[in-house]
């Protein structure tokens, strides 16, 4: 635990005002941090942190209000009401005061189980690296629908045809319409450079896909895991790799590679 500011000279007159100012700033930061964590859904962590802080500063009404909201969101309504009563009695006995308007209104909302107290719905956009849509695809809805149907059962779908007929555009449009259905996003991996010039093609492919899925730069214990295993794990959790190449003769994912991963589209 961090030491208090000027702890060694806390009794000196010159330090009293500065210590009080710094402590108020610290508590203000704790209040803002707790509010931010609560909005991020870290309910249990917020309750634990505020229990500790409020043991030392039980009359901080903003901290008390944040803890009450956290307790309510954790399904602990009875405990939230009990904590409010404890604070109300303490304010009355020690200061002759009633809780402030914010706390009173919060208490009423908890009693009424108002929906406004519930955690906010997630507004996080689906993750993707697909290029921005700059015009509308016309006349290929049938082809997109066919690809969607095939992707419901096939792990690997290959689009073939002469250069310039729109294979890549069709693959990207199909992937874009899957974005909202894939929990962890839809990802584009350019395969044009895969050809064995810089190593084994499967190693190159694995490196490209791992980079697109942000599975590199892991310094934890999982860093020693085979990158292909990590890609397979990511695929099983709902990620969808959308692979595209414009170079003829580029290597396709091998059967053993694609069998371990999610839907891969190659154009």
pLDDT band at 174 (very low <50, low <70, confident <90, very high): confident
Mean residue pLDDT across the chain: 75
Last residue of a domain, one of 117, 132, 158: 117
- Per-residue pLDDT at 45 exceeds 60: yes
Residue (of 49, 47, 35) closest to 102 by Cα position: 35
131 inside domain: no
Range of the domain at 40: 7-117
SS3 123: coil
pLDDT score at 7:
66
Q: Is residue 129 part of a domain?
A: no
If asked whether residues 57 and 152 sit together in one domain, one would say no
Q: Please give the tally of structural domains in the chain.
A: 2
- In percent, the amount of the chain with pLDDT more than 90 equals 25
Residue 25: give its domain's CATH number.
1.25.40.10
- Domain end (from 117, 133, 167): 117
- Are 113 and 145 found together in one domain? no
- What is the per-residue burial (b if ≥16 Cβ within 10 Å, else e) of 149-175? eebeeeebbebeeeeeeebbebbbbbb
Answer with the residue of higher pLDDT: 153 or 262: 153
41: confidence class by pLDDT, cuts 50, 70, 90 = confident
Instruction: Please tell me the distance from the alpha carbon of residue 233 to that of residue 239, in angstroms, as a whole number.
Output: 9
pLDDT at 60: 92
- Say what the pTM is: 0.46
207 falls within a domain: yes
Query: Residues 146, 237: one domain?
Result: yes
């Amino acid at each position: 635990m961090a030491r208090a500011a000027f702890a060694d000279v806390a009794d000196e007159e010159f330090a009293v005002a500065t210590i009080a100012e710094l402590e108020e700033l610290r508590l203000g930061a704790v209040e803002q941090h707790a509010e931010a964590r609560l909005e991020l859904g870290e309910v249990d962590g917020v309750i634990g942190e505020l229990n500790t802080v409020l043991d030392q500063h039980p009359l901080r009404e903003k901290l008390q209000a944040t803890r009450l909201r956290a307790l309510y969101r954790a399904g602990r309504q009875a405990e939230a009401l009990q904590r409010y009563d404890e604070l109300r009695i303490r304010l009355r006995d020690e200061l002759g005061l009633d809780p402030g308007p914010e706390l009173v209104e919060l208490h009423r909302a908890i009693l009424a189980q108002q929906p406004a107290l519930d955690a906010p719905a997630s507004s996080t956009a689906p993750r993707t690296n697909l290029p921005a849509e700059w015009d509308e695809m016309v006349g290929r809805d049938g082809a997109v629908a066919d690809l969607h149907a095939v992707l419901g059962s096939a792990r690997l779908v290959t689009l073939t045809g002469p250069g310039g007929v729109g294979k890549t555009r069709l693959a990207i449009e199909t992937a874009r319409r899957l974005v909202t259905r894939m929990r962890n996003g839809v990802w584009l991996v350019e395969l044009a450079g895969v050809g064995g010039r810089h190593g084994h093609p499967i190693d190159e492919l694995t490196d490209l896909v791992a980079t697109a899925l942000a599975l590199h730069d892991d310094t934890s214990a999982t860093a020693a895991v085979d990158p292909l295993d990590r890609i397979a794990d990511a695929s099983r959790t709902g990620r969808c790799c959308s692979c595209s190449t414009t170079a003829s003769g580029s290597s396709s994912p091998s059967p053993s590679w694609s069998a371990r991963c999610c839907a891969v589209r190659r154009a």
